[in-house]
Structure 1
Amino acid sequence: MPTQIIRYRVADQEKAEENVRLVRDVFAELARERPGGITYQSYRLDDGLTFVHVVTTDDLQILMRFEAFLAFTKTLGQRLDGVPHREEATPIGFFDGHLRS
């Protein structure tokens, strides 16, 4: 399955907190619905304004079925400081040996 890494920076701390809330809403909906065929991770970097999302799926349209993801993307442009950078990546290995919050 193809993996995409998306990295972007938001304009300020207020927008960063809004971004965190919206991303957590996406993960809460994904946890409830449990869609197959996708792995999705999101990180906030040490500067507090930069975010990285790692998505592995054959069908990115999976995310478009979720209200929380649509809400996240609808207002993303208003939060951004610059243009998101998207790259394709080739997975080499994956280990999930710890609990998530």
Structure 2
Amino acid sequence: MSTVMIRATVRNESVGELETAVGKMFAAIEREGPDGVRYASCKLPDGVTFVVFLSLDDPQNNPLTAIPEFLEFQNGLRGWIAGPPTPEPLTVLGSYRLF
């Protein structure tokens, strides 16, 4: 299993557009119900910093890439974020229904 946290700062004027895209993407993920993935997106209190948690049972096979709305979201990130995202691998020590 591979688990990563990704932090990104979004341009203030892009927050609404990004939140709409996140909703669309997660609706598609719920609809498709891919196995082997746990995925969450969170906004921090500053209103422009977003944190994503992604856990894949098989890091060589991300089932999200088969969902068009996920790919559309990934392509939109280039225009929404203020700088490069920072991915950080995590070691899960304990989890209840998250990882």
Q: TM-score, normalised by structure 1?
A: 0.88
CA distance in 2, matches of 1:64, 1:34: 13
Amino-acid identity (%):
35
Deviation sequence 1:20-39 (CA, Å, 0-9, x none): 11111111111111110000
Note if 1:79 corresponds to 2:84: no
Structure 2 letter corresponding to 1:87:
E
CA distance in 2, matches of 1:92, 1:34: 26
- How many residues are treated as equivalent by the alignment? 96
Partner SS, residue 75 of structure 1: helix
Deviation at 1:61, TM superposition (A): 2.8
CA distance in 1, matches of 2:24, 2:36: 20
CA distance in 1, matches of 2:94, 2:23: 25
Counterpart for residue 94 of structure 1: 95
Instruction: Kindly report which structure 2 residues correspond to 1:45-64, keeping only aligned pairs within 5 A, or say none.
Output: 45-57=44-56, 58-59=58-59, 61-64=62-65
4+ aligned runs moved over 6 Å, structure 1: none
Deviation at 1:5, TM superposition (A): 0.6
| Residues 3 and 55, structure 2, Cα contact 8 Å, conserved in 1 | yes
Worse-superposed segment, 55-64 or 40-49: 55-64
Partner SS, residue 43 of structure 1: strand
Structure 1 letter corresponding to 2:9:
R
| Residues 39 and 55, structure 2, Cα contact 8 Å, conserved in 1 | yes
